[in-house]
Chains A and B, each alone.
Chain A
Amino acid sequence: MLVTMPTATQNTPELDFASSSEQVSGPAPFESWGRYPTYGAKIVPLHWQSDFPAVTAGLHNGALPVGMGRSYGDVCLLKDGNLLLTTAMNRLIEFDPETGLLTAEAGLTLAQILDFAVPRGFFLPVTPGTKYVTLGGAIANDIHGKNHHVAGTFGRHITQFELVRSDGSRRLCSPTENPDFFAATIGGLGLTGVITWATLRLKPIVSRKIDYEGIQFHGIDEFLDLTNQSKDIEYTVSWIDCASTGKNFARGVFMQGDHSAKKGDLTPSPRPKLVFPFDAPGFALNHLSVSLFNTAFFHKQIHKRVVAEQDYEPFFYPLDKVLRWNRMYGKRGLLQFQYAIPWDHAKEGTIAILHEVAKSGLASFLAVLKAFGDVPSPGMMSFPKPGITLALDFPIKPDKSFPLFQRLADMTLEFGGRLYPAKDAAMTAPQFQAFYPQWQQFARYRDPMLTSSFWERVTQNSWTGQIGI
């Protein structure tokens, strides 16, 4: 008999995980990046494109395709359900060096794509702040990056993919073929079916280097001026200090860069060696340590303006250097809050929210500010829209964090903005439905077997009743 079983069981019979992963409602076998909430679920790995829906035969409860678990809240969780883990479905299918079109299975990570593409002189068309996400996850959350103002979202660079439904039907989806499923699946949070493979258009580069410039600013007006001046620069993002008030209010560093046009090194990146070794105690992150960090970050850049040639790794993925950095927030985990507020209220909304955050004393360790451009998103449920986006991290303090979140979400709504599901663990059903009024139209494309704890929360449904099991 040939090997068809997963390698771990063949060679390590002393560790039989098949039995431990069957536990439901036990210790969580799969955590989201924020480590909140935590739910028991059964992990069902998909190794091959033909595994779904066959592997779901005989399973109880709903299912959800998941990748690297880098979304922060519960879009990648399903309490007491089945998580269809796609990361072993990571084969390449075709690459055309003339066009840059790469076709690959959906469990391939962006890190693996870079390892393949960079030595061949290609780069991701859009990348988030971590490369440890899967192709499928990048489509399902229609992720964005520092080049949103020129390139739009990740989904803009997907030319086609295959969508497999729990009834066994397989659809080729593109802007012209099954365009409704194409639009529903991009930003569709994994709910419309399992993406087995996708075609991504990579872009040519001649070097690993980024021509980088960092500029200090004070206040939102200076940030907006810098944004206007850098419209032709491919990548722009700002770090902003959310802990300071008074004359240091909304100070930050505006970071911009372009791929170097000078021919240079195209070797793949070495693997990271640092792993955050333990769960930090709850008191490690407090107002003082966060203020110190923010002040240090601001003054790390001594001069008002710094120009440098930088490798793409620290430019795009400064936090990937330390695997499992989320442990810094301890076992209780962290909450993210990311809004997009359209231009007509972007400035007043951002200032009001920054004041509310500073007033709360629940200072944010990392705050990232960026202007979204007007390139339309292809997804029905895509998050970005033209305006300002701000992303904040908070350690979870049960009695304080959630009331603050509700205030911030309500303020976002007042300013005509919306929150990002991939970063959320706290928005209420009425808030979600106001942010995404098209949600009922989207719900028609949901696969009846697939759901997530996020979806249950924001639609207040119960899958047990819906799918009749």
Chain B
Amino acid sequence: MSTNSQSITPKKILVLGATSGIAEATCRIWAAQGASLFLVARNAEKLAAVAQDLKTRGASYVDTAVADLDDTDGHPQLLAHAVNSLTGMDIAYLAHGVLGDQPTAEQDFNTAAHILHTNFMAPVSLLTWLSNYCVQRHSGVLAVISSVAGDRGRKSNYLYGSSKAGLSAFLGGLRNRVDREGVTVLAIKPGPTKTAMTAGMPKSETFADADSVAESIVKAIDGRRDVLYVPFKWQPIMFVIRNIPERIFKKLNL
């Protein structure tokens, strides 16, 4: 529990995709600080387990809603309900997304469209409502998980990558519009993260663990940063990858 970042009035935080690994780790830090949380996820049972954990860890208030965020028509009602429940909102944290099935998406447009809808269209819908809410109040942080994969399209995952590229571009434009209104837009680009799937593997200790990724995210939000590569080393790595000439890049197996 870090007591120094404990504010007098608890932070009011809306978390979309609250059952994802990085989101859960981030929420644990906020819960220990005594934050108020509104959690949205698709699976009721998993959401209940996460909510129970965060309450036990010290969150001053936890409310939840089960929703499929692909349903963009439902967004305004869902978001209004969340903000009412929290009686305000200081931070919106968008952590939902899918990797998708790249080989199938190469053959089938519906699969591709689904990846783009979940990772790009749905966040655009959410951020449209949320940014206007924040602009009206001249405050708030919109923290959105994008990906290093959005920095350059590669054959191994260009549907996922292009959805995240679109999202990163959208966030850049949105920031350009709302920053002057007192609203912060943070694009989070995580690298390989140590999770259950990689635990025990010989090289897994070199990966970032979800807890330290989460710590960096909380710090970036508190520091009102614009873009966060996490761990930091991905910033120079992606700089190099972005600047490889296409003539060479197209021959690489990445």
Contacts and interface: CB of A to CB of B under 8 A. Distances in A.
Interface of A: 1-15, 17-18, 20-21, 27-31, 43, 45-50, 66, 69, 83, 85, 87-88, 91-95, 105, 116, 119, 268, 275, 323-324
Contacts of A66: 200
B114 A1 contact: yes
Contacts, number: 151
**What is the interface residue range for chain B against chain A?**
35 or more
Interface in B57-97: 57, 67-70, 95-97
8 contacts: A8-B193, A12-B149, A45-B195, A49-B49, A91-B49, A92-B53, A92-B57, A324-B205
B128 interface: no
A95 B56 contact: yes
Interface of B: 1, 17, 19-23, 41-43, 45-46, 49-50, 52-53, 56-57, 67-70, 95-99, 102, 114, 118, 145, 147-149, 154, 156-157, 160-161, 190-202, 205, 207, 210, 254
A15 B200 contact: no
Contact of A91 (B45, B50, B160): B50
Contacts of B99: 5, 9-10, 13
Contacts of B114: 1
B21 A88 contact: yes
A1 B192 contact: no
Nearest to A85: B196
Contacts of A119: 1
B205 A50 contact: no
Q: Which of B99, B157, B161 has the most CB atoms of chain A within a 10 A radius of its CB? A: B99
Contacts of A91: 49-50, 52-53
Q: Which of B21, B46, B96, B197 has the most CB atoms of chain A within a 10 A radius of its CB? A: B197
B97 A3 contact: yes
B56 A2 contact: no
B53 A2 contact: no
A6 B69 contact: no
A391 to B, nearest CB: 24
A242 B50 CA distance: 49
B42 A4 contact: yes
A390 to B, nearest CB: 29
Contacts of A13: 99, 102, 147, 149, 156-157, 160-161
Contacts of B199: 43, 45, 85, 87-88
A14 B1 contact: no
B205 A29 contact: no
B56 A94 contact: yes
A433 B99 CA distance: 50
B225 to A, nearest CB: 18
A6 B138 CA distance: 35
A3 B197 contact: no
Contacts of B192: 8, 12, 14-15
Nearest to B49: A91
A85 B161 CA distance: 29
A29 B202 CA distance: 6
A14 B56 contact: no
Contacts of B21: 6-8, 88
A365 to B, nearest CB: 22
Given A2-B41, A95-B56, A11 B200 contact: no
Nearest to A46: B196
A3 B96 contact: yes
A8 B190 CA distance: 9
A343 B200 CA distance: 39
Nearest to B45: A50
B56 A4 contact: no
A3 B156 CA distance: 20
Contact of B197 (A31, A45, A92): A45
Given A5-B98, A6-B197, A119-B1, A48 B46 contact: yes
A15 B161 CA distance: 13
Q: Which of A3, A9, A87 has the most CB atoms of chain B within a 10 A radius of its CB? A: A3
A152 B106 CA distance: 60
List 9 tightest A-B contacts by C-beta distance, closest first: A7-B21, A2-B42, A88-B196, A45-B196, A91-B53, A3-B20, A30-B200, A13-B157, A92-B56
B166 to A, nearest CB: 16
B40 to A, nearest CB: 8
Given A3-B19, A3-B97, A43 B200 contact: yes
A275 to B, nearest CB: 6
Q: Which of B17, B154, B157, B195 has the most CB atoms of chain A within a 10 A radius of its CB? A: B195
Contact of A10 (B20, B161, B191): B20
A21 B197 contact: yes
A361 to B, nearest CB: 32
A30 B98 CA distance: 27
A349 to B, nearest CB: 36
Contacts of B154: 14
Contacts of A7: 20-22, 193, 195, 210
Nearest to A275: B205
A6 B205 CA distance: 17
Contacts of A6: 21, 195-197
A74 B194 CA distance: 24
B19 to A, nearest CB: 6
Contacts of A21: 197, 201
B67 to A, nearest CB: 8
B193 A12 contact: yes
Given A2-B69, A4-B42, A29 B19 contact: no
B57 A43 contact: no
Contacts of B1: 119, 268
Contacts of A30: 200-201
A8 to B, nearest CB: 4
Given A14-B254, A87-B196, 18 more contacts: A3-B96, A5-B98, A7-B193, A8-B21, A8-B195, A8-B197, A11-B147, A11-B193, A12-B192, A13-B102, A29-B201, A31-B202, A45-B195, A45-B196, A49-B49, A83-B200, A91-B50, A93-B53
B200 A29 contact: yes
A376 B138 CA distance: 65
Contact of B196 (A20, A47, A50, A92): A47
A126 B19 CA distance: 32
Nearest to B118: A1
